A and B are shown apart, each in its own frame.
Chain A
Amino acid sequence: MTESLMINIAIAVLFLPLLGFVVTLLLGSKVKQIYLFENIILIFSLIGAIILAFFKLSSFDNTITAEFVWIDLGNTPLMGDIKITLGIILDNISVLMIVVVMLISSLVHIFSIEYMRGDPRYNRYFAYLGLFTFSMSGIVFTHNILMMYIFWELVGVSSYLLIGFWFEKKSASDAAKKAFIVNRIGDIGMFIGILILYTTYHTFTLEEIFSQISQGVLPFNNDAWLTIAGILLFAGAIGKSAQVPLHVWLPDAMEGPTPVSALIHAATMVAAGVYLVVRIFGIFTADAMLFIAFIGALSALIPATIALTQNDIKRVLAYSTVSQLGYMIMALGVGAYAFAFFHLITHAFFKACLFLGSGSVIHGMHHEQDIRNMGGLKNKMPLTYYTFLISSLAISGVPLTSGFLSKDGILAGSFAFANLTGHWLFPLVGFFVAMLTAFYMFRLVLLTFHGEPKDREKYEHVHESKFIMTIPLVILAVLSFFFWYTPNPIDPGKGWVLSEWITAPELYTPENTRYEFMIPDEVVAVDSKVMFSKMYDEAMHTAHYPAMILSLIMAGAGILLAFMFYYWNKVNVSELVEKYKKLYNWSMNKWYFDEFYDKTFVAGTLALSRFLGKFDLKIIDGIVDGSAYITKGFSFFIGKFDNVVIDGLVNFFAYLSGFIGLIFRRFQTGRVQTYLVFVLVSLVILLFIFKSF
Chain B
Amino acid sequence: MDFPILTFLTFLPILGMVIIMAMRKEQVTAIKSLTLVITGIQVLLAIILLANYDSSLGGVYEQASFQFVEKFRWIDIDNFSWIGKIKVDYFLGVDGISVPLVLLTTIVTFVAAISSWTISSSIKGYFSLFLLLDTGMMGVFVSLDFFLFFIFWELMLLPMYFLIGIWGGPRREYAAIKFFLYTLLGSIFLLIVMIGLYFSTQETIDGTKTFTFNLLAMMNADNFTSDGILSPLNPNNLRMIAYIALFAGFAIKIPMFPFHTWLPDAHVEAPTPISVILAGILLKMGTYAILRISFPVFPEITKQLVWYIALFGMVNIIYGAFCAMAQRDFKKLIAYSSVSHMGYVLLGMAALNTMGISGAIFQMFNHGIITSALFIIVGVIYDRTHTRMLDDFGGLGVKMPVYTGFVTVAFFAAIGLPGLNGFISEAFVFLGAFGVSLIRLITVISTLGILLGAGYMLWTLQRVYLGKLNEKWADLKDLDLREYAMFVPLSIIMIFFGVYPAPMLNLMNSSVNTMVQFLDEVRVFYTSLGSF
Residue positions of A touching B, CB distance < 8 A: 29, 70-74, 76-79, 82, 146, 149-151, 153-154, 157, 160, 164, 167-170, 173-174, 177, 180-181, 184-185, 187-188, 191-192, 195-196, 198-199, 605-606, 608-610, 612-614, 616, 620-621, 623-624, 628
Contacts and interface: CB of A to CB of B under 8 A. Distances in A.
A624 B261 contact: yes
B64 interface: no
Interface string B404-432: 00000000100001110001000100111
A188 B430 CA distance: 12
Contact of A613 (B327, B450, B459, B501): B327
A173 B325 contact: no
B447 A612 contact: no
Most B C-beta atoms less than 10 A away, residue of A76, A180, A616:
A616
Nearest first, the 10 A-B pairs at minimum CB distance are A613-B326, A150-B418, A609-B325, A76-B354, A173-B466, A621-B261, A167-B466, A195-B434, A612-B322, A77-B517
A196 B431 CA distance: 9
Contact of B467 (A72, A151, A173): A173
Interface string B422-452: 0100010011101100000001100110111
B326 A188 contact: no
B319 A612 contact: yes
A153 B430 contact: no
Contacts of A623: 258
B456 to A, nearest CB: 8
Contacts of A610: 326
A624 B182 CA distance: 9
Contacts of B355: 73, 76, 79, 82
B501 to A, nearest CB: 6
Nearest to B510: A74
Nearest to B462: A173
A177 B325 contact: no
Interface string B502-518: 10011001000100110
B18 to A, nearest CB: 36
A177 B181 CA distance: 41
Contact of A79 (B354, B462, B506): B354
Contact of A154 (B326, B417, B461): B417
Contacts of A76: 353-355, 513, 516
B398 interface: yes
Contact of B458 (A71, A73, A168, A180): A180
Contact of B434 (A73, A167, A181, A199): A199
B66 interface: no
A32 to B, nearest CB: 16
Nearest to A195: B434
B296 interface: no
A167 B467 contact: yes
Given A149-B418, A609-B322, A170 B468 contact: yes
Given A79-B354, A168-B395, A71 B261 contact: no
A174 B462 contact: yes
B431 A195 contact: yes
B454 interface: yes
Contacts of A605: 325, 452, 455
13 contacts: A71-B502, A73-B509, A76-B354, A79-B353, A79-B355, A154-B419, A170-B468, A191-B450, A195-B434, A612-B319, A613-B326, A620-B261, A624-B262
A199 B432 CA distance: 9
A77 B451 contact: no
B322 A608 contact: yes
Contacts of A168: 395, 398, 466-469
Contact of B462 (A74, A177, A606, A608): A177
B45 interface: no
* Residue of A76, A157, A169, A180 contacting most chain B CB atoms (<10 Å): A76
B245 interface: no
A504 to B, nearest CB: 33
Contacts of B506: 72-73
Given A82-B355, A613-B326, A157 B466 contact: no
Contacts of A78: 352-354, 516, 520
Contacts of A624: 178, 182, 261-262
A193 B466 CA distance: 34
Contacts of A181: 451, 454-455, 458
Given A79-B353, A605-B325, A74 B509 contact: yes
B232 interface: no
Nearest to B514: A77
Contacts of A613: 322-323, 325-327
Contacts of A614: 326
A150 B419 CA distance: 7
B430 A191 contact: yes
Nearest to A80: B354
Contacts of B398: 168
B491 to A, nearest CB: 13
Contacts of B181: 628
Interface in B315-354: 319, 322-323, 325-327, 352-354
A76 B515 CA distance: 11
Interface in B153-208: 178, 181-182
**Which residue among B322, B395, B397, B443 has the maximum number of chain A CB atoms within 10 Å of its CB?**
B322
A42 to B, nearest CB: 21
Chain A CB within 10 Å — which of B319, B358, B427, B506 has the most?
Answer: B427
Nearest to A25: B405
B509 A191 contact: no
Given A170-B467, A188-B447, 8 more contacts: A73-B513, A79-B354, A153-B423, A181-B451, A184-B450, A188-B448, A609-B325, A624-B182
B492 to A, nearest CB: 13
Interface in B458-479: 458-459, 461-462, 465-469
Contacts of A608: 322
A73 B505 contact: yes
A235 B260 CA distance: 35
Contacts of B325: 605-606, 609, 613
B451 A184 contact: yes
Contact of B418 (A72, A79, A153, A616): A153
Contact of A77 (B319, B419, B431, B520): B520
B450 A609 contact: no
Contact of A609 (B260, B326, B354, B423): B326
A181 B454 CA distance: 7
B412 to A, nearest CB: 6
Given A72-B502, A170-B467, A620 B258 contact: yes
Contacts of B262: 624
Contacts of A180: 454, 458
A500 to B, nearest CB: 36
Contacts of A164: 466
A612 B257 CA distance: 12
Contacts of A167: 397, 465-467
A164 B182 CA distance: 44
Contacts of B178: 624, 628
B431 A198 contact: yes
Contacts of A177: 458-459, 461-462
B60 to A, nearest CB: 12
B66 to A, nearest CB: 20
Nearest to B258: A620
Contacts of A157: 412, 417
A77 B435 contact: no
A614 B327 CA distance: 10
Given A79-B435, A82-B355, A610-B326, A188 B417 contact: no
Contacts of B182: 624
B64 to A, nearest CB: 20
Nearest to A615: B323
B143 to A, nearest CB: 27
Contacts of B323: 609, 612-613, 616
A78 B182 CA distance: 38
Contacts of B260: 620
